[in-house]
Structure 1
Amino acid sequence: MENEPHHKAPRPGLVPPYFRPVIPAAATSALLHVMDVSPMPSVSVGRPPVSDLLYKGGSDLAMQDQALYEQHGVKRGLRNADGSGVVAGLTAICDVHGYHRTENGVEPDEGDLILRGYHIGDLVAGARSERRFGYEEVSYLLLAGELPDQAELDDFNERIDVRRSLPRGYLSLFPRTTASSSIMNVLQRATLLLYAFDEAPDDTSPEHEVDVALSLLARLPRIAAVASTAYSAEAAQEQLRIPPITGGLSMAETILDVLRGDAGYTPEEAQVLDTMLMLHAEHGGGNNSTFSTRVLSSSGTDAYSAYAAAMGSLKGPKHGGANYKVGQMIDDVAEHVRSAGDDDEVRAYLRRIAAKDAFDGTGLLYGIGHAVYTKSDPRAVLIRRYAAKLAGQKGMEERFRLINAIERLAPGVVQEARGTSKPLCANVDLYAGFVYDMLDIPAEMHTPIFAIARLSGWAAHRMEELYGASRIIRPAYVSVAEARDYAPMAER
C-alpha cells in the first residue's frame, strides 16, 4: 500500500532491539554531562554596588537617542525607512519578492520566491506531479545554476551517498560534544570539528567548496540525529544508539530514517518533509544567516567556519528559531481559548499577547509578518495545503483550525496594536513547526532541519561571494561618542 510505513530489515545475525550500534556510556556524553563547577562571576563574586557600572554601563550606553539614527542617515538593521532592505550586493541565485517600488514608495504585492529564475511553486509542483523527491534537484540548481537532467541528478546523488559515513575517529570525539540543550549548538561544533578531518580545510577552490557542501549535505542529517539521540539518551539515562547508514535515500527519507529508526515512515510523510526542505533551501542573500555566510566568506575564511556562523545566526528566535517560538505560542493560545472556531475569543487572546499581557510578554505574535513579504508568503501558502491534508490523516484538525484562525486574525491584531495599515501575512514559521510535529520530529530538531535544508543556499551564496564580489564586507558605523580627557586613577 502507498502509505504503509517503510520498515528496515535487520542486518544478518542481529535481532531487535540490536539493529543499531551502541556506544557505551563511558564513551559518550550521555550520563557523563558535567556542568562547569565554577559559577559565573555574578554568582561567585556577587553583585555589590561596586559592580553596577561594569554590568550596566555598556547596555545603558547602547540605548542611544533614536533621533541620532535619522540625523546621521543610519539604516538600522540595514533597513530603509519604509522597511525594505538596503541593497548590499547583487545575486543571480534568488529573488524574494513581496512588493513593488513605485514613485509613491513601496507597493505591497503577493509574495513569490524565485530560485535561479524558477518560481518555487513550479519547482514543488514539478516534483510532486512526477511523484519524486525535489530537494536534491533544488540543491543542484542552487549549486550549479541549472536544473539537472537525470544523469546529472544521479551523479549528484551518488556524490552525496559516498560521503554519508563519518570520518574514522570522529564518533569517538563527537558524542562527547553533544551534551547540550540545543542541537543547533551541537551542529555548529560538529561542523567545526569536521574541519580537523579535512586534508585541505582552507582550500577555497570551486572543486573543494562543492566537495565540502556535498559532504555536509550527506553528513548533517546523521550528525543531527546522533545529537538528538544523545540528548534523549541523557534525559532518559540510557546508552546512546547510533543510527546505521542507509544508502540510496533522499534527504527527506534520510532524516526520517535516522529519526524514526525501526518504526518506519510513509511515502506521503517523506514527500511532505521533502516539500519543507525545498521551501527552506534558499531565501535570498539578505536573510540573516545567509548574509552571515557572505560576510565570513568575504574574509576568505574556510567553509566550515562560514557555515557554523550561519547556523549560529539561524538559531536565533528572530530567524530560524522562530518556528520553536511559534509552537510555544500556539500551545499557549490553545490553553486559553476554548474553541478554535470562535473568532472573537481567539482575537481577544491575541490582543492580550500583542499588549504584552500574555504569553512571553514581548508583544510579538510569532509567525506573523516578514521583512519582505507583505500580502503573502508563498512558502506558507504552499505548506498550508499539505498541512491541512496531513492534519486530517493525523487527527489534528482542531490544531490546524486554530493555526488557521491565527493566520486570519493576527495580522489585524498587530496592525491595531501598532497603529499601522501596513499589510502583514503569516510566514512559513506559522506552519513549519506544526508540520514537523505531525511528522513526529522532536521539537529540538525543528531548526536543525531548517539548517540542513538551507545549507544548499548558504553554499551557493558563499561561492558567489568568493568568486563574484570578491571584496571583504566592511560597512561603516558613525561614532557618536564625545571626546573626553583622561583622568589619573586617583582623580576618578
Structure 2
Amino acid sequence: MALVSKGLEGVVAAETRLGEVKGAEGILFYCGYDINELAGHVSYEEVVYLLFHQHLPNRAELDALTTALRAERELPQGVIDFLTSAPKSAKPIDVMRTAVSMLGCYDTLRHDLNMGEHRATAIKLVSQIGIIAAYFHRARQGLSLPPIRKDLSEAAHFLYLMSGEVPSKEAEQTLDVAYVLHAEHGFNASTFTARVVASTLSDMYSSISAAIGALKGPLHGGANEGVIHMLEEIGSPDKVDSWVADALAQKKKIMGIGHRVYKVLDPRAPHLQKMAIKLTEQLGEPKWIQMSERIATIMREQKGLNANVDFYSATVYHSLNIPTDLFTPIFAISRMSGWTAHVLEQWSDNRLFRPLSEYVGKAYGQKVVPVDER
C-alpha cells in the first residue's frame, strides 16, 4: 500500500535551485543566500535577477534587467479597459487573476530585448503585475490612471501609481524590503500550483493565474488581510488579553501566528517587525504594533507559537496607506518573481506531476439499479 501523506506533508515532489526553507531551524535561502543577507542589502530587482539566473547581478546585468522590466510596463489597452470597467466591489485579487489571464491574449512582448520568449514573458509579468493592482485600485475610486514612468524602481513605481505622487525614499525602501522578503518560499501552495500547471506544458499565464487563485486562500496569502481585521476587531491594546483568551477558548485561529513549515521564528518576521515599529511611531499610531506585540507574546508564552511573516507585513502595509484588500495582491506582486522562476525551472527539466491517491469509497462491485427502483 502506498504511503498516504495528507497535504503532501514531508513529500519531496521535485528538486529546485531557487529556494530552501529549513523549518526546524527557521532559515530561508534564496539560491544559497540567507534571507538575512539579502533583506535590506539588495534591491528587489537584484532578487528578481538572482531567481532567474541563480547568481546576483553585476552592475551591467542589473541595468539590463532594470531596462527590460521598465520597457514592459505599458499594459494592453484591452486590459486597461477591463480594469476600469470591472465591478468596483470586486476583490482586487480576483481582478488581478483575471487580468493576468487576459495578458495571455495579447502578443505584446518586446522581442528586441534579446531573451527567450519564456523569460521575456516572466519579465513582462513581473513588470505589469503591480500596475494591474494599482490601476484597478485607482479605477474603483473613480480616479485617473497616472501615466507609466520608467525612472522609478518597482517598489517606487507601485506606490506612485497608487497615490499619483512619487513616494518618499523611506516608503520606497520599506516596500522594496517587503518585496524581497516575499519573493520566494520553496514549494508553498501557490508555487506548487504554478509548477503543476506548468508541468502539463500549459503556458505561463495559465500557470500564474492558477497560482494567484491558490494565493487567495486565507490559509495562504489571504492571512495578512486577516491580521488587520483581527486587530480592528480587538480595537485597543487593553482588550488584547481578553480577546485572545476568548479566541483560544473557542479554538479560533489567531491570524499570523504559527506556520505550516517553520517550527521556530519565521526568519522574515523580525525584518517586518522592525519596519512596523518604526512606521507606526512615525505616524503616531502605536496601537497597531502594541496590539501585535502583545498577541505575539501571549501566543509564544501560552502556545509556543511564533509570529509569521503575515503578522507584521499587515501592519507595514497598513502604515503605508495600502488598503487591506490589497495586502494579498501585494504578496502576489512580490511573489511573481518566484512563481515565474519556478515555472522556468520546471520547464528546464519537465516531468508531469501525477501523484497517486488511495481510494476509500464504497466497496467495488456496486450494481446499477433502475432509477424508478432506487
* Long gaps (5+) in structure 1: 1-70, 80-84, 100-108, 128-133, 201-205, 234-239, 340-344, 357-361, 416-422
Evaluate the alpha carbon distance shift between residue 163 and residue 461 of structure 1 in structure 2; reply closer, same or farther with a 3 A threshold. Answer: same
Confirm or deny that 1:265 pairs with 2:167: yes
Question: Contact (CA 8 Å) 2:195, 2:342: kept in 1 or not?
Answer: yes
Counterparts of 1:84-163 in structure 2, within 5 Å, are: 85-99=10-24, 109=25, 111-127=26-42, 134-163=43-72
CA distance in 2: counterparts of 1:442 and 1:407, whole angstroms:
23
Task: Say whether 1:176 aligns with 2:85.
Answer: yes
Task: Confirm or deny: 8 A CA contact 1:177 1:189 kept in the other structure.
Answer: no
- 1:324-335 alignment, distance < 5 Å: 324-334=225-235
1:231-271 deviation per Cα after TM superposition (whole angstroms, max 9, x unaligned): 223xxxxxx51121111211110111001114x42111111
Match for 2:244: what amino acid?
A: L
Q: Distance in 2 between matches of 1:98 and 1:118?
A: 16
Label 1:120 to 1:355 Cα distance change in 2 as closer, same or farther (>3 A): same
Supply the AA of the counterpart residue of 1:75: S
Contact 1:246 1:254 in 2 (8 A): yes
> Any residues of structure 2 matched to 1:341-360 within 5 Å, and which?
346-356=240-250
Equivalent residue, structure 1, for 2:358: 478
Question: Matched residues in 1 for 2:314 and 2:231: separation?
Answer: 10
Whether the 8 Å CA contact 1:384–1:431 is kept in 2: the answer is yes
Aligned pair partner of 1:424 in 272, 286, 305: 305
Following superposition, the deviation at residue 169 of structure 1 comes to: 4.3
* Runs (4+) off by over 2 Å: 167-181, 230-233, 345-349
Tell me which protein shows more helix as a share of its residues.
Answer: 2
Find the residue that maps to 2:116 and give its secondary structure. Answer: helix
Query: TM-score, normalized by length of structure 2?
Result: 0.93
Once the two structures are superposed, what CA deviation does each residue of 1:128-181 show, in whole Å capped at 9, x if it has no partner? xxxxxx100001100111100011100100001111111244433443345442
Q: Which of 241, 244, 256 is residue 367 of structure 1 equivalent to? A: 256
Q: 2:94 aligns with which of 176, 185, 191?
A: 185
Deviation at 1:348, TM superposition (A): 3.5
Q: Which residue does 2:328 correspond to in 1?
A: 447
In 1, are the aligned partners of 2:83 and 2:139 still within 8 Å (CA)? no
1:491 match: 373
Q: How does 1:20-419 map onto structure 2 within 5 Å?
A: 73-79=3-9, 85-99=10-24, 109=25, 111-127=26-42, 134-177=43-86, 179-198=88-107, 207-233=116-142, 240-262=143-165, 264-285=166-187, 287-334=188-235, 339=238, 346-356=240-250, 363-413=252-302, 415=303
Calculate percent identity across the aligned residue pairs.
37
Aligned length: 367
1:199 deviates by 6.9
TM-score normalised by L of structure 1 = 0.72
- SS for the counterpart of 2:39 is helix
Bigger-Rg structure (1/2): 1
RMSD: 1.8
Q: Deviations over 1:43-97 (max 9, x none)?
A: xxxxxxxxxxxxxxxxxxxxxxxxxxxx974211112xxxxx3211111110111
Query: In the alignment, residue 228 of structure 1 is paired with which amino acid?
Result: H
Cα deviations across residues 382-437 of structure 1 (Å, max 9, x unaligned)?
11111111111111222211101111112344x3xxxxxxx421101111111011
Q: Provide the rounded CA distance (Å) in 1 between the counterparts of 2:288 and 2:75.
A: 39
Residue 462 (structure 1) aligned to one of 337, 343, 347: 343
C-alpha contact (below 8 Å) 1:178/1:186 kept by paired residues: no
